[in-house]
């Protein structure tokens, strides 16, 4: 089953053949600012299993000081893709979970970078929490 998604305005759309099992809520300050939220949730996929259907030319990239790349729709600003050095080595990318229109069942399995979690958010679920990346 393919999982489909798009940006807010629909100019960028994609499908993913398979989602890799590590799905985390990231509480780093860059994710907070990029998403305008307390945390972001990304799913990792192999590049070979990500298919852009429309609007690849509408993706704008931002390269952070730490070398990560974040991609968003230049028309509506929707946060879509995150890429780190690890992703480039492994030929994977990470897609914002909230950008999927239709997705097979996924379950986040970690809270990462909780050292920079916003003070007003209380994590009261049974998902493991890590001060940085997974240990």
Domain ranges of the chain: 3-109
Give the per-residue pLDDT at 71: 97
Query: What pLDDT digit, counting tens, does each position of 26-82 carry?
Result: 999 999 999 999 999 999 999 999 999 999 999 999 999 999 999 999 999 999 999
Q: What is the pTM of this model?
A: 0.89
The CATH classification number of 3-109 equals 2.170.150.70
Distance of alpha carbon 29 from alpha carbon 116, whole angstroms = 6
Write the CB contacts of 123 (distance below 8 Å, at least 6 apart in sequence). 111, 114, 117, 129
**d(Cα 47, Cα 34) in Å, to the nearest integer?**
22
Mean pLDDT of 125-130: 93
- Give the model confidence (pLDDT) of 80-108 as tens digits: 999 999 999 999 999 999 999 978 788 89
């Amino acid at each position: 089953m393919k999982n489909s998604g798009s940006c807010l305005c629909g100019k960028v759309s994609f499908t993913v053949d398979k989602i890799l099992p590590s799905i985390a809520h990231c509480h780093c300050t860059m994710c907070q600012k990029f998403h305008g939220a307390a945390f972001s949730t990304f799913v990792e996929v192999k590049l070979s299993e990500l298919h852009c259907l429309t609007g690849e030319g509408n993706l704008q990239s931002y390269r952070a000081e730490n070398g990560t790349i974040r991609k968003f729709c230049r028309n509506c600003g929707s946060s879509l893709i995150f890429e780190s050095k690890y992703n480039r080595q492994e030929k994977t990318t990470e897609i914002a979970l909230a950008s999927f229109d239709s997705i097979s069942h996924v379950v986040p399995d970690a809270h990462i970078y909780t050292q920079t979690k916003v003070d007003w958010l209380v994590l009261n679920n049974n998902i493991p929490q890590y001060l940085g990346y997974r240990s």
